[in-house]
Every structure is written in C-alpha cells, then in structure tokens.
Amino acid sequence: MVDTETFLDVSIWRDQGGDGHFETYQVPRLANQTILDVVSWVQQHIDPTLSYRFACRVGMCGSCAMMVNGEPRWTCRTHVKKVVVEDCLEIAPLRNLPVIKDLVVDMDPFFDKWVAANAVFEPSRTRDDPMAPITPDDPMRIVADGAIECINCAVCYAACDVVAANPEYLGPAALNRSWSLVNDSRDAGQAQRLHAVSAGGGCHNCHSQQSCAKFCPNELNPTLSISGLKRATLKSLLRWDR
C-alpha cells in the first residue's frame, strides 16, 4: 500500500572511483518497507547505474549490509520505520572497507583476515574414519553454539572502532569464528590458531567496547568470543606451549 502523502529523503553515497558524495532521492514511503526496498526502488525507478549487493533478502546470505544513518545494518531485515529520522535516511557503504562503487565494498580485507586468524576448520580425521560423536550437551559444543550463527555480513567489522584505528586488527568476525573452532574437539589446528590470534593484530587488541555485539544482526557476542580467545592464549602461554 502506498502512502502517497509521504516521501522519504534518501541520501545515498555515490562513488565512481574516488569522487564519493551523497546524492538525495525522493522515495515513496510504503508500509513494511525495508532499507533494501528503498535502495532497490532508487535503482529501479531513478538511476539504474546505482550499485549495491543483495542476494537472499531474508537475512541469511550476509551480502546486503550497509551503513544506515551512520550505523551498520543488514538492510534486507531493517525496516525503515525502525531507523528513519524525520523522513530522512542516509545510506552509505560499510565502514572500514574500501569502496568499489557506490554501496559496494571490497570484502577481500575482511575475508583475508579470516584466513590470517586461522579461522578455517583443520580436520583431524579422514573421510574413512567414523564420525566424531559430539552431543548437544557437550560443554565445548555449548560454548561453540554461541558463536556459530555468523552470516559473514561484516556488520561487526564496520562497527568496530579498533578496526578503524588499527588496520592490522583481525576484527570481531574472524576472531569469533576462531573461537568457535577453538571449541571444536574435532579440529587439529589449535596450536597454530592460538598462535595466529596472538600476533600483532590479534585478539589482545580488542578494547571490549562491544560495538560488534550491539550491532550484530544475529545477536552474537564477538566480544565474549574474543575474551575467550584471550583466556585460551593466556593459558597456553602459562603452560609454556609457545
């Protein structure tokens, strides 16, 4: 249903390679409208050259995150009415990542840090071995449960002031994934992982400001995971494992 009396003033970041600026568009306000709906309306009705990313539209793929009124959001699940201020919206590419064009950022630095954090499963068995039994009430599994619903949207990475201040910092998402693997009893890469998250850009740089936990659309708490990594690495140091 169109409310013909109401329009949104939407400022969208336009960047063709170094000439970044906001352009304002008038977008009709609709019932149950999401930020992704607004961006799509502009692209479909005003300027087809507007670039942005989305895929699933249901909060699973993690590809549509943008800065909305200065805060990182998953745009397909963010209702306009939740974030609009006096019928105005400001939509920009994710913070802390290089812009490719308009609202599209280069995610390479984000995923390179997952690799640097050794946030990749290292199997301890082959396909010929029997499956490792892990029960739902296993204490390590319960801890891992708190960290495994990450959709790689980079909202936490954009929210993190330490990433902004220290480009080497691995960031909340990569460290959160590392923590879930530290609690995976099937994983064979624990020593290398703890070493990887203890280097110059590692978990010890986190100031526990908890912006990642505040903005995570899946309500994960990467700060808690990072504090777990701090404890695990400290124990490993005190055991003279390194």
**Residue ranges that bind other proteins, judged by CB under 8 A:** 162, 165-166, 168, 198-202, 204-205, 230, 233-234, 237, 242
Comparing CB distances to other proteins, the nearer of 180 and 198 is 198
Here the tokens at position 145 are 């449960």
Comparing CB distances to other proteins, the nearer of 98 and 200 is 200
Q: How far is the CB of 237 from other proteins (least distance, A)?
A: 6
Q: How far is the CB of 80 from other proteins (least distance, A)?
A: 35
Which residue pairs, CB below 8 angstroms and at least 24 apart, start in 12-16? Answer: 12/39, 12/42, 12/50, 12/91, 12/92, 12/102, 12/103, 13/91, 13/92, 13/93, 13/99, 13/102, 13/103, 14/50, 14/102, 15/93, 15/99, 15/101, 15/102, 16/101, 16/102
Comparing CB distances to other proteins, the nearer of 62 and 201 is 201
How many C-beta neighbours within 10 Å does residue 189 have? 18
Rounded to an integer, what distance in angstroms lies between the CA atom of residue 120 and that of residue 198? Answer: 16
Backbone angles phi, psi at 180, to 5 degrees: -65, -35
Q: Could you give the strand order of the β-sheet that contains 71-74, starting from the edge strand earlier in sequence?
A: 21-30, 2-14, 88-92, 65-68, 71-74
Q: How far is the CB of 234 from other proteins (least distance, A)?
A: 6
Q: How far is the CB of 166 from other proteins (least distance, A)?
A: 6
Rounded to an integer, what distance in angstroms lies between the CA atom of residue 91 and that of residue 83? Answer: 11
Q: How far is the CB of 160 from other proteins (least distance, A)?
A: 12
Q: How far is the CB of 229 from other proteins (least distance, A)?
A: 10
Q: Which residues partner with 68 through β-bridges?
A: 71, 91
Comparing CB distances to other proteins, the nearer of 201 and 217 is 201
Q: How far is the CB of 195 from other proteins (least distance, A)?
A: 9
3-state SS assignment for residue 19: coil
Q: Which residues partner with 10 through β-bridges?
A: 25, 89
Rounded to an integer, what distance in angstroms lies between the CA atom of residue 60 and that of residue 83? Answer: 21
Comparing CB distances to other proteins, the nearer of 97 and 232 is 232
Backbone angles phi, psi at 67, to 5 degrees: -90, 125
